[in-house]
């Protein structure tokens, strides 16, 4: 996603003692996880990585370079239905969906610094921007006890034209510099309505998956907008959170929020790259500010956090808390 100002550097962590694996299959489905069945056949040998490990971890640090191979697959209008069917076939094995979005920056803000805003003030800014702007890319990375899925998907959307649509010029220039092809988006991108209808038919809409994002207020907001026909977001934060729960189910995690509970003191601060560096997690494929690659990094960071800091499914205590849209005190969240 486009960078926000105010991120600080990583707080490097000393290696903690090993923690038990997080057994997804043992968690009740009502908390957002599905019982695991045998993995389906897929065409790459990478599918068998860690297939015997009942863990939430995508890979071992000692894994070979070959075992780390992963594809970021572009999805356009022409292959939308095919790739959603492929994702649906994999969800029983990989029920954790990490996502990232790319969008043309922000055009509205308020004078109050982000860290001083109330959740309702933060949501009001998100709503003003998302209601006016276009989603450009959606990245989805799947994972589960079989490890990390060997494919991450990058959905490329049509509808944005910098000649007529509101945007941040610096954000669009940054995305172009990182490889986002705005001409290809206009010519070959996915229509938002087509995506919403295909998503509704897909197993992604089952409400029993675990969804994760990093600093996910804009990620979930853009996807809610697309999946509700482009209508304005709910007028209240409470209405928005109810819509998120209805669409994605009860197990919604924000990895930036989780970082506050990792390590000692104030947790791990900073953006996705900084948090990944603090955890020793490296980008497996692609480039920053591309939704497919960033969703993959979000997935790997989530799993590293769970392995090290949230044993015995403790991460689920934080379900429903989206960074910036909650005030937290211990494990109690208020909108």
With a threshold of 0.85, does the pTM exceed it? no
- Cβ distance 137 to 101 under 8 Å? yes
Q: Which pLDDT does position 309 carry in this prediction? A: 86
Query: Mean pLDDT throughout 40-58?
Result: 29
Q: Which pLDDT does position 23 carry in this prediction? A: 33
d(CA 25, CA 15): 27
DSSP character at residue 251: -
Q: Which pLDDT does position 196 carry in this prediction? A: 97
Q: Of the candidates 185, 169, 166, which has an alpha carbon nearest to the alpha carbon of residue 2?
A: 169
pLDDT > 80? residue 90: yes
pLDDT > 60? residue 46: no
pLDDT > 60? residue 42: no
pLDDT > 70? residue 11: no
pLDDT > 90? residue 22: no
Check residues 318 and 67 and name the one with the higher pLDDT: 318
pLDDT > 60? residue 276: yes
Q: Which pLDDT does position 96 carry in this prediction? A: 95
**Mode of pairing for the β-strands spanning 147-156 and 137-144:** antiparallel
What residues contact residue 63 under an 8 Å CB cut-off, 6+ apart? 49
Cα first-last separation, the chain: 24
No. of helices (H) and no. of strands (E), the chain: 10, 8
pLDDT > 90? residue 33: no
pLDDT > 70? residue 104: yes
Using CA of residue 76, residue 286, residue 292, residue 125, what is the dihedral sign?
A: negative
Q: Which pLDDT does position 82 carry in this prediction? A: 95
Q: Which pLDDT does position 313 carry in this prediction? A: 64
pLDDT digits (tens, 9 = 90+) for 136-179: 999 999 998 878 899 999 999 999 999 999 999 999 999 899 98
d(CA 208, CA 97): 11
Mean pLDDT, the chain, whole residue set: 79
Any idea how long the chain is?
Answer: 335
CA separation, residue 10 to residues 272, 279, 284 (Å): 10, 9, 19
Query: Mean pLDDT throughout 82-100?
Result: 95
pLDDT digits (tens, 9 = 90+) for 246-274: 999 999 999 999 999 887 777 888 989 98
Q: Which pLDDT does position 19 carry in this prediction? A: 26
Give me the domains of the chain, ranges plus CATH numbers: 71-318 (3.30.420.10)
Q: Which pLDDT does position 328 carry in this prediction? A: 65
What residues contact residue 35 under an 8 Å CB cut-off, 6+ apart? 25, 29
d(CA 257, CA 196): 28
- Cβ distance 279 to 308 under 8 Å? yes
Q: Which pLDDT does position 10 carry in this prediction? A: 35
pLDDT > 80? residue 329: no
pLDDT > 90? residue 199: yes
Q: What sections of the chain are H helices per DSSP? A: 80-90, 119-132, 169-177, 182-188, 192-201, 217-227, 237-248, 255-259, 272-279, 291-309
Check residues 94 and 11 and name the one with the higher pLDDT: 94
- Cβ distance 152 to 72 under 8 Å? yes
């Amino acid at each position: 996603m486009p960078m926000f100002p105010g991120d600080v550097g990583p707080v490097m962590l000393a290696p903690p003692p090993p923690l038990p694996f997080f057994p997804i299959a043992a968690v009740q489905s009502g908390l957002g996880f599905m019982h695991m069945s045998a993995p389906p056949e897929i065409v790459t040998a990478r599918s068998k990585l860690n297939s015997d490990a009942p863990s939430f971890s995508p890979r071992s640090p000692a894994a070979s370079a070959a075992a780390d191979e992963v594809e970021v697959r572009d999805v356009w209008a022409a292959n939308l239905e095919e790739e959603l069917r492929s994702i649906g076939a994999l969800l029983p094995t990989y029920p954790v969906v990490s996502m990232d979005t790319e969008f043309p920056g922000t055009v509205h803000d308020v004078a109050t610094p982000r860290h001083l805003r109330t959740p309702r003030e933060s949501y009001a800014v998100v709503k003003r921007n998302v209601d006016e702007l276009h989603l450009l890319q959606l990245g989805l990375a799947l994972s589960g006890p079989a490890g990390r899925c060997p494919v991450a998907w990058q959905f490329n959307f049509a509808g944005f034209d910098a000649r007529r649509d509101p945007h941040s010029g610096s954000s669009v220039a940054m995305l172009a510099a990182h490889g986002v092809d705005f001409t290809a988006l206009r010519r070959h991108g996915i229509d938002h309505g087509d995506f919403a209808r295909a998503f509704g038919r897909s197993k992604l809409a089952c409400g029993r998956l675990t969804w994760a994002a990093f600093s996910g207020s804009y990620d979930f907001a853009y996807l809610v907008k697309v999946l509700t026909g482009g209508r304005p977001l709910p007028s209240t934060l409470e209405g928005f959170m109810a819509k998120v729960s209805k669409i994605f189910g009860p197990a919604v995690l924000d990895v930036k929020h989780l970082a506050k509970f990792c390590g000692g003191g104030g947790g791990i601060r900073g953006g996705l790259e900084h948090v990944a560096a603090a955890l020793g997690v490296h980008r497996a494929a692609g480039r920053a500010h591309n939704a497919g690659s960033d969703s993959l990094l979000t997935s790997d960071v989530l799993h590293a956090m769970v392995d090290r800091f949230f044993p015995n499914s403790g991460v689920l205590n934080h379900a429903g808390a989206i960074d910036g849209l909650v005030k937290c005190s211990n494990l109690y969240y208020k909108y």
